[in-house]
Chains A and B, each alone.
Chain A
Amino acid sequence: MKKLIAGAILLGVSTMAFAQPGCGVGAMIWKGQSGAAPHILAATTNATFGNQTFGMTTGTLGCNTNESVQSLALYMDNNFDKIARDMSRGNGENLDTMAVLLGVEQADREAFRSLLQNNFATIVPSADTTSGEAVDSIVALMLQDEVLSKYVAA
């Protein structure tokens, strides 16, 4: 095992998923970091909430599906307790980031925030909901939404 001083790099397990070829944002950035990556370990937070494993239930989020949804899934996996918080409040910078990742335009962001807040109990039905399950629910809810469905169509 390694100890890492100072920069405290958190290229954790889930971030490493970024490096899978062609999967979502950032794939390029972390490619070619082979010099640094092997020295780097995950630092895990004691997650307050939710199950921060990258557990996709439906398998719809493979590398050949909607890339923005994959990006969202990776981001949610890293920040689930903050995202859950912002969803319950219907505002917060993490909702903006989610909207950016899904490409939701400014005009539709209010609808996006409301959808997440109003359906919080559907998106996160229990304390053990995984971030992957939450993504699946968000995608399903958006697909049923007249305005927002266009952002998640595969």
Chain B
Amino acid sequence: MARLLSTCLRWPLMLPLLRPGLLAPGLLFATHCFAESPIQPLHTDPVWLTLGHYQQAMTGGYTSQADDPDFFLSPAGKHSPKDELDATLRAIQADGEGDSHARCQFPARAAWLQQQFQLELPPMACPAFDQWTATLNAEHVTLVFAASYLNSPSSMFGHTFLRLDPPQDDASTNLLLANTISYAADAAAHDNELLFAYKGIFGGYPGVTSVEPYYEKIRLYSDIEHRDLWEYRLNLRPAEVARLLAHTWEIRNRNFDYYFFDENCAYRLLALIDAARPGTDLIGEVSTHAIPSDTVRWVVAKDLVAEVHYRPSAATSVSYALGQLPVAQQRLAVALARGALSVNAPDVAALEPADKARLFDATYDYVRYQSAAKKWPREHAAPVSHDLLVARSQISATTATSEPTVPAVRDDQGHNTFRASVAAGRRADRNFTQLTLRPAYHDLLDPPAGYRHGAELEFLRVDARYYTDNQSLELEQLTGVAIRSLSTRNAFFQPLSWQVGFGGRRTDTGSKRVLAPYLEGGVGGSWALGSNTQAFALATVDAEIDDDLNKGYDLGPGADLGLVFQHHTVSALAGVKRKAWLVDNLQRQDQLYVHTNWHLSRAVSAFAAFTREHHFDRYHTLWHVGLHVYF
């Protein structure tokens, strides 16, 4: 079956970053170093290198990221910007005309070369390209960021695409009908998950650039995936918009192999913006990975954004609309949606027309959401929906239902995703200092602004401890992936809360602490106790493997009950955990934990953590205090 994945990066695939080249951050993207050179040969001009998608290797040689012979006019074009420039120069001056001519195939290159060499070229019509640009009718370009959504931490990386905005003062067009440009990988379905992961990381999937209407994107992201869309209108001038389109034409239908981490959906769009405004060098910001939300930060930092517009998802809108109803009407909405109450029921009929309109609007959106998200059967949803709409159409009140408020902090304004921490602490009777590095992304205690409440996603986190008593350095924990999704339940929505994680950690065998691979998971529920606080209860299971364990492994079902408080000044997490180890030592491990972070600024938090544990008939106390820095 077809699988449509709308994140650029899929979490299960964040396995070792082994791809050659990834290990040399900064070395791949050195094109900007040449901009200042006074006697620079034209083929190393940043504009030419951008248009050819060339990257310079450590050795000085160039390679284009295009993986399609049709993208090059010279057989040596993939590795030689000079040959490609010479071939392009010849081709654009060659006889002939029409769509197959190089000037029509490569309009952006042709325009640049014409300008550089002051070429006197005869006018040439390119019917296909001209009609394409006329139909696209772009006055502005908007970078659209599909935010992460609740209960899907793997969507945290977001997704980006470009929207081509028609002139706003033109009554014959509108933004829903605007076209979008996306770059996507195309994977053959017969590939299994392993091959899928392998090819995603090491390359092998073709990436294609495609154009489709914005309303299709809204349907996917806003209606099906419940993702809010942030629209960043770029301040590109008309000539820059034209250049962006001309270059899109050049790479459209051309294969650029897709890599999950760096050459992903967001990356290729950065290259298009670089081509539109020479010297921008957004690609130069990319080191080992291009997280779409980070790429938005770069675009904002380079002063490319004229204005930002927020488009709440269907889920955001319906939650808001239901929340605006008085409690009595919320009960009516649930009953109407379930079909337990008719639209003509006395309780409903007694309402003022405007209240009735709001009730019907919210209820219809709720039924629509539940049909999409919870697969309410059509036999139930369709008649209920129809009744609601017919009843609504008889109320002339068109008072627009109030829209959800725009979040005060956008996703790109949240804390940066790389975190480094230092701490000092004490475990039992031993003092230690601890260094933690976490390349991505966010946990429950980090500053919550710009992130979804209750969502946590961590990758490749390393905790190292230096014990001062015997001066030993120990790896305390290596987190491969840790995901937590605490979505609160209420009368309308009953999501599951869950968590999953794997890596290696110190575990107590009764006589010593050894580093053991672990796998953990949990599922349960979460309930709001106010706008910043939620309580959760999870049933958990842990597995550990180590030859210091008698049977080589251990398995421990358990429970985790806790409270989370997330606020822009302070975040806190406290609770009790129990694990009943079944296989090896039949010991119970009970824990009481309290963690607090004080958010001193967007980039710095102070933290303190306290854990009291009972294991192997002994009590241990662990505490540490320190600083997190985000950059």
Chain A contacts to B: CB under 8 angstroms:
1-12, 15, 25-26, 28-30, 32-36, 39-41, 43, 45-50, 75, 78-79, 81-82, 84-85, 87-91, 93-94, 96-97, 100-101, 103, 105-106, 113, 117-118, 120-121, 124, 126-128
Q: Does B94 contact A (CB under 8 A)?
A: no
**Contact between B188 and A89, CB atoms less than 8 A apart:** no
A49-B385, A78-B219, A90-B396 known; A4 and B173 CB under 8 Å? no
CA distance A55 to B177 in the complex (A): 22
Measured between beta carbons, the chain A residues less than 8 angstroms from B291 are none
Chain B contacts to A: CB under 8 angstroms:
1-8, 10, 128, 131-132, 135-136, 159, 161, 171-174, 176-177, 179, 182-189, 191, 196, 200, 205, 208-213, 215-217, 219-220, 223-224, 252-253, 258, 264-265, 357, 360-361, 364-365, 367-368, 371-372, 375-376, 378, 381-383, 385-386, 388-390, 392-393, 396, 398, 400-401
CA distance A78 to B171 in the complex (A): 22
**Contact between B215 and A33, CB atoms less than 8 A apart:** no
8 Å CB contact of A120 from B159, B265, B364, B393: B393
What residue in chain B is nearest A128 (Cβ atoms)? B382
8 Å CB contact of B216 from A10, A34, A106, A121: A10
Measured between beta carbons, the chain B residues less than 8 angstroms from A81 are 368, 385
A4-B3, A15-B216, A124-B389 known; A100 and B172 CB under 8 Å? yes
**Contact between B184 and A8, CB atoms less than 8 A apart:** yes
A28-B131, A32-B128, A97-B177 known; A79 and B184 CB under 8 Å? no
CA distance A101 to B213 in the complex (A): 14
> What is the minimal beta-carbon distance from B202 to any residue of chain A, in angstroms?
15
> What is the minimal beta-carbon distance from B275 to any residue of chain A, in angstroms?
19
**Contact between B212 and A15, CB atoms less than 8 A apart:** yes
Measured between beta carbons, the chain B residues less than 8 angstroms from A26 are 135, 213
Measured between beta carbons, the chain A residues less than 8 angstroms from B385 are 48-49, 81, 84, 127
**Contact between B173 and A1, CB atoms less than 8 A apart:** no
Measured between beta carbons, the chain B residues less than 8 angstroms from A75 are 177, 215
Measured between beta carbons, the chain B residues less than 8 angstroms from A87 are 389, 393
What residue in chain B is nearest A100 (Cβ atoms)? B174
CA distance A26 to B174 in the complex (A): 14
CA distance A11 to B385 in the complex (A): 27
What residue in chain A is nearest B191 (Cβ atoms)? A3
> Of residues A34, A40, A105, which shows the largest number of chain B Cβ atoms within 10 Å of its Cβ?
A40
8 Å CB contact of A28 from B132, B182, B367: B132
Measured between beta carbons, the chain A residues less than 8 angstroms from B364 are 85, 88
**Contact between B216 and A78, CB atoms less than 8 A apart:** yes
- 12 A–B contact pairs at CB < 8 A? A4-B2, A28-B135, A45-B372, A49-B386, A85-B368, A88-B389, A90-B396, A96-B174, A97-B215, A117-B396, A124-B386, A124-B390
